[in-house]
Amino acid sequence: MTQKIRLMIGYRHLLLRQALRTALTALGDVDIIHEARDGKDAIEKAAELDPDVILMDTQMPIVSGVEATAHIRRESSRSRVLLMTLGADDEIILSILRAGAAGCILKDADLGELAKAIRTVARGGTYLSPEISDRMVQNYVRFSERPREADVRPRRDLLSVREREVLQKVAEGMGNQAIARQLTLSVKTVEAHKAHIAQKLGVRGRTELIKYAIRKGLIELESVAPMREAIAA
């Protein structure tokens, strides 16, 4: 008999958690071992129960699904996280992949696609909803070529060492509070650095800033590897 996939559900709404439990249990090869009501609960239970797969909403209370995923991966848990998101927004998808999620599926996916995603992730693969995959491939192709050094240096030199550190953290999908903790700064200082970076580079908005940073080579690209792997899968 094939061993069932030990799955933890992370969703803030009780009714939807129960609906997911009913639908996924009916598949026959999934065993729901816990229903996390918030990101903190998901982190704690992941460490305690060691599920095969964690199906989690990005918009979790207390700790977001993206932040919870990053924490679970940092703790070297073998659990693989499949995140659910409302839309294929560039910034959200990039932060999901940088957090170390094994996959991302849109919330309007049907049960057949959800089952496929869970099974793919449980086998060690990576799954992206087709809409997300298409969008990421388009962006990857657009920004894959590194610019010539002569084109990069003038804009790079505009930023201080601290500003480049903040820009790197922004590109890794971290919020202001997380950046402040890692760099031992106040949230207001982080916000000021981000405003200065945007002014110096002439770019507005977090998503456009990340795109510009990748295109112009202003950030370390090693962390782009999870995105490349997800796109290639």
User: Could you report the per-residue pLDDT of 101-151, keeping only the tens digit for each?
Assistant: 999 999 999 999 999 999 999 999 999 988 888 777 666 555 554 454 444
Burial label for 126, CB within 10 Å (0-12, 13-18, 19+), is: buried
pTM, whole model, 2 decimals? 0.62
Helix (H) or strand (E) run with residue 117 in it: helix 111-122
Contact status, residue 110 vs residue 92, Cβ threshold 8 Å? no
Mean pLDDT lowest for which of 44-48, 154-158, 160-164?
154-158
Q: Which domains does the chain have, with CATH numbers?
A: 5-134 (3.40.50.2300), 147-216 (1.10.10.10)
Which own/partner contact pairs does 134-138 have at CB distance under 8 Å and 24+ positions apart? 135/88, 135/90, 135/93, 136/93, 136/97, 136/227, 136/230, 136/231, 137/231
- Whether residue 49 is predicted with pLDDT greater than 60 in this model: the reply is yes
Which of 50-64, 66-80, 202-216 is modeled with the greatest confidence? Answer: 50-64
Mean pLDDT for the stretch of residues 159-175? 81
Mean pLDDT for the stretch of residues 52-58? 96
Q: How many CA atoms lie within 13 A of 40 on its CB side?
A: 2
| Angle at CA of residue 215, ends 213 and 217, nearest 5° | 65
- CA separation for the pair 152, 213 (Å, rounded): 10
- Whether residue 226 is predicted with pLDDT greater than 50 in this model: the reply is no
Instruction: Return the pLDDT at 169.
Output: 82
CA distance to 78, 116, 130, 152, per residue, from 123 (Å): 12, 11, 19, 41
Contact status, residue 209 vs residue 201, Cβ threshold 8 Å? yes
| Angle at CA of residue 87, ends 38 and 91, nearest 5° | 85
- CA separation for the pair 216, 143 (Å, rounded): 9
Contact status, residue 65 vs residue 58, Cβ threshold 8 Å? yes
For CA atoms 56, 57, 59, 61, the dihedral sign is negative
Query: Whole-number mean pLDDT of the chain?
Result: 82
- Whether residue 185 is predicted with pLDDT greater than 90 in this model: the reply is no
Instruction: Give the pLDDT band (50/70/90) at residue 94.
Output: confident
- Whether residue 155 is predicted with pLDDT greater than 60 in this model: the reply is no
- CA separation for the pair 5, 153 (Å, rounded): 50
Mean pLDDT for the stretch of residues 219-231? 45
Q: How many CA atoms lie within 13 A of 130 on its CB side?
A: 5
